[in-house]
Amino acid sequence: MGLTLTEKILKAHVVDGEFVKGNEIGIRIDQTLTQDATGTMAYLEFEAMGVPRVRTERSVAYIDHNTLQSGFENADDHRFIGSCAKKHGIYFSRPGNGICHQVHLERFGAPGKTLIGSDSHTPTGGGIGMIAIGAGGLDVAVAMGGGAYYITYPKIVKVELTGALSPWVSAKDVILEVLRRLSVKGGVGKVIEYCGEGVKSLSVPERATITNMGAELGATTSIFPSDETTRQFLKAQKREDVYVPLAADADAVYDEEIKIDLSALEPLAACPHSPDNVKTASELSGMKIDQVCIGSCTNSSLMDMMKVAHILKGRTVHPDVSLSIAPGSKQVLNMLAQNGALSIMIDAGARILESACGPCIGMGQSPNSGGISLRTFNRNFLGRSGTKDGQVYLVSPELAAISAVNGVFTDPRTIEDKFEFEMPSEFVINDNMIVPPAPESEMDSVEILRGPNIKPYPETAPLVESIECGCSLKVGDNITTDHIMPAGAKILPLRSNIPAISQHCFTVCDENFPARAKEMGKSIIVGGSNYGQGSSREHAALAPLYLGVKAVIVKSFARIHRANLINAGILPLTFVNEADYDRIDQGDELALMNVRAAVEAGEQQLVLTDRTKGIEIPVLCELSGRTKDIILAGGLLDYTREALKNG
């Protein structure tokens, strides 16, 4: 029996655990990346482990999220990250060099390698045949220190692509179709592996768009084979030396199979407020719009930008529409400037933003009240744009550009002329905004530069004998990390300051939560299904930790957030019977008696007592040997410190 591509790469990297479906395995990590919204905490955690220099093949720190410097906080964080990178063996991508996933694809990613990043869209690297996984900052810190990264041996879904995309139908429409079929929960515990003759018709940037938004499925990662198209892309980036051909065996066995005929697809859009709320462009045609934003790690490649420039050429943005465009990297921006496409965009009336995440993470360009905003981004959660009642639609660059001109939602197939973009045989290479680390001989003399906004990691403690406290909050299904720990220009600068940022925790759901939780001292949160979907931000676990949350009991968890809760020492529990969710109310007094002994004994089912209601509710405590030890220790930082001390 042959192996899937996913299994080939994982098997070559397993360093702990039995390589059996459903088991937890530890894999060796070749590369890591961080961005500045999560990076400061990741490097504080790395420092706390006491490892002097990273032990990966390549680690890169990117500045791309908190680039709006409206106060000293972001600038201080960037300076801190830069000094940490120089001292500890990490490459530093300066502000303006571009979005981490776009730059990493261009300059560092390599087929067959493993990559984890403290950003949920790290699976972008699957576009060139990497196993690239989003993770919490602490997991990345451990990997930088040489530790394994642990995942459950995933189910593997085969997506067989046939045919080729029709004119003005794009890679964005492919992943929106997958989301339409599988939903935002459909990829949990799975890797999405693309194969079939249709793969050959897709460029590397198109493949990367598809793997990027695989994060919205809840998938562990997504991956394409490494083939001649991959080689040509790497050759054009002057990195052909890292190319290796990779594909699944012909007799590989998959857990699930999906078939998509690319030639049958039509332009799609994800409607408010979920990436899987998908409709066809023709259904939405004619709807008046207010704003268009083109860019993000999903759709900011040179290929995407050239399509946009072609559509805008000789046209003017509608007077009722604000159009902003953010090229994904300095390389893309520079090539647009050299070939005249940037001038076309400016002539049309587009607002050119710096090469950064910008509006996607809530850093500027919030739409007007109730405004309809078409965005080439990956998430359209309620309030994520910075406007609470903003109506955000996720679309392709082609649809976004023609709609900006017409002032209404427009099916791009109405464009009369055709445009075929040929990938350049050579990209413009200038890595002068990537700062290499100091040589080992000089690392001791490098000073770490800390600003006053940088506060230590929250205090942790081993799991207590019993948890007896109130329910501080009850929330529903599909709670995102944006609900738990909002982003945006006002809050993101506090990412290095857990006491300050915790004052915004869950305020999207209940503005009184931070004060109530702090006053209670310790508490339990109750939630619905797919709790913690979305961004990998570990602050959605660290802020509750600081506010005294001891356990979270839900119907089901999103993968990364559950891991982040364990890393923070917060007990993740699920209802045995989902109907029991309805039996608990906010304010109820709850108890998990003798919980430490039960966890130590490896008991999978615990009893939650609701003392207010006088009832007992069974809950699942699904912890493996390693995650059990992490919870008992009080979190991954404590566990790792102890392991390094004894190792």
Q: 3-class DSSP state for residue 404? A: helix
Q: Are 144 and 56 in contact (CB under 8 A)?
A: yes
Residue 452 neighbours by CB distance under 10 Å: 10
- The span from the CA of 619 to the CA of 610, in Å, is 12
User: What pLDDT is stored for residue 535 in this prediction?
Assistant: 86
Verify whether residue 641 is a known catalytic residue.
no
Q: Are 385 and 362 in contact (CB under 8 A)?
A: yes
15-71: pLDDT as tens digits: 999 999 989 999 999 999 999 999 999 999 999 888 999 999 999 999 999 888 888
Please tell me which residue in 119, 139, 290, 482 is annotated as part of the active site. Answer: 119
Please tell me which residue in 104, 379, 483, 495 is annotated as part of the active site. Answer: 379
User: What pLDDT is stored for residue 426 in this prediction?
Assistant: 97
Angle at which helices 137-144 and 636-646 cross, to 10°: 10
Q: Are 363 and 342 in contact (CB under 8 A)?
A: no
Across the range 350-372, mean pLDDT stands at 94
The percent of residues in the chain predicted with pLDDT above 70, rounded, is 99
- The span from the CA of 157 to the CA of 627, in Å, is 26
**And the tokens for 363?**
């850093």
Flag whether pLDDT at 130 surpasses 80. Answer: yes
Verify whether residue 477 is a known catalytic residue.
no
CA nearest to 308, candidates 350, 275, 266, 360: 350
Residue 460 neighbours by CB distance under 10 Å: 16
Q: 3-class DSSP state for residue 582? A: helix
Please tell me which residue in 535, 539, 580, 610 is annotated as part of the active site. Answer: 535
Please tell me which residue in 58, 65, 104, 107 is annotated as part of the active site. Answer: 65
Q: What is the average pLDDT value for the chain, to the nearest integer?
A: 96
Split at pLDDT 50, 70, 90, the class of 363 is confident
Please tell me which residue in 318, 537, 539, 559 is annotated as part of the active site. Answer: 537
238-268: pLDDT as tens digits: 999 999 999 999 999 999 999 999 999 999 9
Verify whether residue 535 is a known catalytic residue.
yes
Please tell me which residue in 64, 77, 411, 482 is annotated as part of the active site. Answer: 64
The percent of residues in the chain predicted with pLDDT above 90, rounded, is 90
DSSP β-bridge partners for residue 190: 155
Ramachandran quadrant class, 565 (left: phi over 0; alpha: psi -120 to 50; beta: rest): alpha
Range from 22-36, 324-338, 339-353, 484-498 carrying the lowest mean pLDDT: 484-498
91-109: pLDDT as tens digits: 999 999 999 999 999 999 9
**And the tokens for 267?**
């332009």
Output the pTM of the full model.
0.94
Q: Are 323 and 407 in contact (CB under 8 A)?
A: no
Across the range 334-340, mean pLDDT stands at 98
User: What pLDDT is stored for residue 647 in this prediction?
Assistant: 58
- The span from the CA of 229 to the CA of 236, in Å, is 11
Flag whether pLDDT at 559 surpasses 70. Answer: yes
- The span from the CA of 570 to the CA of 561, in Å, is 11
User: What pLDDT is stored for residue 646 in this prediction?
Assistant: 67
Verify whether residue 64 is a known catalytic residue.
yes
Q: 3-class DSSP state for residue 548? A: coil
Structural domains of the chain in order of their starting residue, each with its CATH number? 5-264 (3.30.499.10), 282-412 (3.30.499.10), 467-646 (3.20.19.10)
**And the tokens for 372?**
């309809």
Flag whether pLDDT at 157 surpasses 80. Answer: yes
576-622: pLDDT as tens digits: 999 999 999 999 999 999 999 999 999 999 999 999 999 999 999 99
User: What pLDDT is stored for residue 457 in this prediction?
Assistant: 86
263-320: pLDDT as tens digits: 999 999 999 999 999 999 999 999 999 999 999 999 999 999 999 999 999 999 999 9
- The span from the CA of 510 to the CA of 506, in Å, is 6
DSSP state letters, 606-629:
EEEEETTTTEEEEEE----HHHHH
User: What pLDDT is stored for residue 579 in this prediction?
Assistant: 97
Verify whether residue 203 is a known catalytic residue.
no
Verify whether residue 65 is a known catalytic residue.
yes
Largest CA distance in the chain: 72
Flag whether pLDDT at 644 surpasses 80. Answer: no
